[in-house]
Structure 1
Amino acid sequence: MSTSGIRPHRAHAFTGKHRFFMMMAICMGAFISHFTAGIVNVSLPQFTQFFQTDLGKVQWITTGYLLVITALLPVMGKMGDRYGFRRIHNLGYVFFTISSILLTFSTHISVLLVLRMVQAVGAAMFQATNIALITLHVPKENRGRALGIVSTAVALGAMTGPILGGWIAEWFSWQWLFLIHVPAAAAATLLAFRYIPVGGQKRRSDSFDKVGALLFMVGISSVIFGISNASSWGWLSVQTIFIFAAALITLLILLLWEQRQTFPFLPIRALRISAVSYGLIVSCASFMLANTLLVVIPFYLSGTAGLSPSTAGYMLAAYPITLALAGPVAGYLSDRYGSRRFMFLGLGGMGSGFALLALYLGQLPVIGVLAVLALIGLGMGLIASPNNSFIMKHAPAEHIGSIGSMIALTRNAGMVIGAALGLGVIPRGAGQPGQAELLASYQSVFEINLYVCIGVITLLGYAIHRDRKRRSQ
């Protein structure tokens, strides 16, 4: 079955210049949305002082943004299938840019939170449709490289947001947290309207499953909300158990409902394709592994290793640098040689890095930690773009919007799970933990990551073996 979803002449109807600026517009959005997600984290105490409120409300600046994006990604993918990926993507830029400007005029925390949610709606609109647009308008022989560039933009945005947020918190007012990206967002909006092609998509006209969409949003929001707060509530607390139980019941009802629908909200038929389902599992797991590292290692570098925050920040740059170098190359090579071997190599690289951290973290010199960060970044670069290309290659044409949004969903979910896991192992309590206790906690989470890597490699190998066996019959 063709997976491009385009008329035969459309993919090659644009000059190299048009395609370059289209990719620039898409990548700027991918960078900005993840950059904005993390830039406010360091400044949360500053918001409590300015708005004279408690940290519980202020944390919704981060948690609410993430919840809205995660809950709306499949909805926006569906909207793209029906009304056009270009329209949803570009309107998302407009909402995001305008809300970013309006945020700086907030005089009350409630106003700021509402506008932050509008900003998240915009981010969900273009996050859910950017991979579909690339699948539509980039030729198959260049698609892996294009997806690799987008994956690199996502990683760089997630990495640079907290670093730049720390500098702004130290030297500027909080308004700059929402203004600094506005020129780039405005430029991306103009480029998107000018260079993303208007035609080429076969839109779907089937009915929209509103009940399925509502059940999904409630269920996935409950999961993300529970994971985000479990560390502070306690994983076995009444609140945590209640939230997870409600989420489980809601998601079970959703699955039963979707099985009875002619046009279900979730792309059930596509998710039954093993290449799509295990590709999404790899996506979620890889971002969980990466975000666990990025949450825990700064504590180790600044605390146990005794490095200054600036030195720790420079060391952390090893991860996105190697990812940025490996991502487009892996995408290009996967177009020629297939994706699976790069996915295995990437998971092996990440697993090797976590094995070194789990076994030798306290004994590694600073240059050793730097090398491990680079190794894990290299592994992530080898996974992301080949995996995305692999998923979209096997996705039915009528579901590329939904599957593209599912890739973004698994990415965001993995980042949340990784952050919760990383923060969850850091000792809490009245007394200050000793260095040995802290080191053991850090090593324990890296050991968990190693087991996750082994599990995903095993799952991937089994799925590939099963597919080959089925084709040979």
Structure 2
Amino acid sequence: MSQRQRFFMMIAICLGAFLSHFTAGIVNVSLPQFTYIFQTELAIAQWITTGYLLVIASLLPFMGKLGDRYGHRVLHNYGFLLFTVSSVLVAFSTTVTMLLVLRIMQAIGAAMFQATNIALIAILLPKEMRGRAMGIMSTAVALGGMTGPIAGGMIASWLSWEWLFLIHVPVAILATGLAFRYIPSLEQTRETRSLDLVGAGLFMLLVSLVITAISNGNGWGWASEGILILFGGVLVLAWAFVWWERGQSVPFLPMAVFRRSAVSSGLFISFTSFVLANLELVVLPFYLLDQAHVSPLTAGYMMTAYPLLLALTGPFSGWVSDRYRVRPLIFAGLGAMGAGMTVLAIWLEALSTVEIIAVLALTGAGMGLIASPNNSYIMRHVPMEHAGAIGGMIALTRNAGMVVGAALGLGMMNGDSSQAAHPTIDAYRVVFAAGALICLSGLLVWWYAGRLERKKKRGTEVEKA
């Protein structure tokens, strides 16, 4: 593959990573407006955002598995096409039902290219370039998540609601054209074995129930009948999924791959890091507005320190991980995130505006040190025939971590009800202390996984000797 082809291939992949997260948050500010436009309740309008995220999260591993079977390029590029067409059509919705159906189609397209982008990088780029490429893609994810709500606020103030779904269409058309033109079709040998549709269905239902329960826990109350029923369903589905998979010669998820400590610990670190990041990003604005009494505009500027440092450190850490050891980078990233959480837990009310920006920058830099090296590290230990399935699982841990981080932060800040008007300073400190403890658990898991890796390596060397 020529340098030119790699360059435009990466642009296409990164535009997809950007757009899928950009479109997730662009609608949030305008949800109350949709209740008036379509004469519906807010509980239904919220599914414009919740349904989009839920469909993506539940389909990611399945789409990755389809990529292993039919080709990652096929899934990725036709996902772009579906996403682009549905983005246009959703702007012409005349009822809320029509809007939700087309939004689900948009989410299916987004899941198709989210689930396969990491696999494409792992398969098509040389080993010495993968970490940097994944770092650049992590930057695109961060920028999409940051700019979506900002663009949504501007559109809500100045333009009609249709532009929420049309604003990104020119970029989506460009990305689709680049993907079909520059992503090569030469990939892995495709699977010919049957696809475990029952296992896939059980896993999708399991993920859907978990995300639904966590998303609604604060609003319904964690001890409410509805939440208890959902978690009961989670336990039943988890048991059914494990029971079914044990009896399959070719299970939906490659369980043998998950037994590799590098893969299982890497997925845990991916989930943990996004829990930590979203916990801070969701809770800290409340503190800035309610306790520090800064303006919304100032708070918005302050919060950009996180994605800015992530954007700067992500490609650099990816480049370093291509040439040197990965594990110290991830240790340093977790340490930086944990240090930020600890500072907020102990000295929150004493921090100046500049110091809070510095903490956000530290957390963003820590995330930048983790994301791309960790993704690259996981994929190094995955057979290419399972690249799509594990790539989908990486994307799932990212989305699930964001949901859990937001739910955990808001739940601890507001107690059992999301209606608490003014959380106390102690409530904020408890949230960040919990974040520090979560980070400590991540460090311990990563240390133990490294110990297992060294032990396995020594055993292999002894056998060779």
Could you state the TM-score of these two structures normalised by the residue count of structure 1?
Answer: 0.95
Q: How much has 1:201 moved relative to structure 2?
A: 2.1
The correspondence of residues 75-94 of structure 1 with structure 2, limited to 5 A, is 75-94=62-81
- Aligned equivalent of 1:240: 227
Deviation at 1:433, TM superposition (A): 4.8
Structure 1 counterpart of 2:286: 299
Distance in 1 (alpha carbons) for counterparts of 2:319 and 2:456: 29
Instruction: Verify the 8 A CA contact 2:219 2:418 in the aligned structure 1.
Output: no
Aligned to 2:341: 354
Instruction: Decide whether aligned partners of structure 1 residues 450 and 233 sit closer, same or farther in structure 2, where only a CA change above 3 A counts.
Output: same
Q: In the alignment, residue 448 of structure 1 is paired with which amino acid?
A: A
Larger mean CA deviation between 198-207 and 27-36 belongs to: 198-207
The CA distance in 2 between the partners of 1:430 and 1:396, in whole Å, is 44
Q: Aligned letter for 2:80?
A: Y
2:201 is aligned to 214
* Structure 1 Cα separation of the partners of residues 161 and 72 of structure 2: 34
Which whole-Å CA distance do the structure 2 matches of 1:431 and 1:54 have between them?
18
Name the SS for the 2:424 alignment partner.
helix
Match 1:378 to one of 345, 358, 365: 365
**Aligned partners of 1:207, 1:452: CA distance in 2, in Å?**
39
Q: Deviations over 1:186-218 (max 9, x none)?
A: 100000000000113211111000110110011
SS of equivalent to 1:29: helix
1 CA distance for matches of 2:54 and 2:444?
A: 31
SS at match of 2:351: coil
Instruction: Give per-residue Cα distances to partners, 1:226-262, cap 9 Å, x unaligned.
Output: 0000100101111111101101210121011111111
CA distance in 1, matches of 2:49, 2:268: 25
2:409 aligned to 405, 422, 428, which one?
422
Structure 2 residue corresponding to 1:146, chosen from 116, 133, 146: 133
Aligned to 1:441: 427
CA RMSD of aligned residues (A): 1.3
Partner residue, 1:38: 25
Q: Which residue of 1 aligns with 2:463?
A: none
CA contact (8 A) 1:283 1:411 kept: yes
Whichever residue aligns with residue 260 of structure 1, its letter is: G
Spell out the pairing of 1:236-385 with structure 2 (5 A cutoff).
Answer: 236-385=223-372
**1:295-331 per-position Cα deviation (integer Å, ceiling 9, x unaligned):** 1111112221111111111111100110000000000
The separation in 1 between residues aligned to 2:7 and 2:456, in whole angstroms, is 40
CA deviation digits over 1:136-165, x for unaligned, max 9? 111101110001111111111112111221
Counterparts of 2:72 and 2:420, CA distance in 1:
52
Q: Secondary structure at the match of 1:305?
A: coil
Distance in 2 of aligned mates of 1:353 and 1:124: 32
| More deviation, 388-397/195-204 | 195-204
Residue 407, structure 1, aligned to residue 394, structure 2: yes
Tell me which residue corresponds to 1:7.
none
Percent pairwise identity: 58
Q: Mind listing any 5+ residue stretches in structure 2 that lack a counterpart?
A: 460-465
Native 8 Å contact 1:40 1:165 kept in 2: yes
Amino acid at match of 2:431: V
Q: Please say if residues 42 and 165 of structure 1, whose CA atoms lie closer than 8 Å, have aligned partners that are also in contact.
A: yes
Q: What residue in structure 1 maps to residue 145 of structure 2? A: 158
Partners in 2 of 1:106 and 1:472 — Cα distance? 62
- 1:205 lines up with 2:192 in the alignment: yes
SS at match of 2:186: coil
Whether the aligned pair in 1 keeps the contact of 2:76 and 2:113 (CA below 8 Å) is yes
Of 305-314 and 381-390, deviating more is: 305-314
**TM-score scaled by structure 2?**
0.96
Q: Please name the residue that 1:22 is paired with.
A: 9
Given that residues 151 and 385 in structure 1 are in contact (C-alpha distance below 8 angstroms), is that contact kept between their aligned partners in structure 2? yes
Does the CA contact (< 8 Å) of 1:293 and 1:422 recur in 2?
yes
Per-residue deviation, 1:426: 3.5
- d(CA) in 2 for partners of 1:309, 1:431: 20
1:462 aligns with 2:448: yes
**Residue from 24, 36, 49 that aligns with 2:36:** 49
Task: Give me the whole-angstrom Cα distance separating, in 2, the residues matched to 1:58 and 1:219.
Answer: 24
- AA partner of residue 331 (structure 2): F
Q: Secondary structure of the equivalent of 2:160?
A: coil
> Is the 1:42–1:169 Cα contact (8 Å) retained in structure 2?
yes
With 409-418 and 163-172 compared, the bigger mean Cα shift is at: 163-172
Q: Give the Å deviation of 1:430.
A: 11
User: 5+ unaligned residues in a row in structure 1: which ranges?
Assistant: 1-13
Letter in 2 for 1:259: R
How many residues align? The count is: 458
| Partners of 1:34 and 1:154 within 8 A in 2 | yes
Contact 2:413 2:431 in 1 (8 A): no
Residues in 2 aligned to 1:167 and 1:311: alpha-carbon distance in whole angstroms: 16
Q: Give the whole-Å Cα distance in 2 for the aligned partners of 1:453 and 1:144.
A: 23
Shift of 1:471: 2.6
Contact 1:427 1:438 in 2 (8 A): no
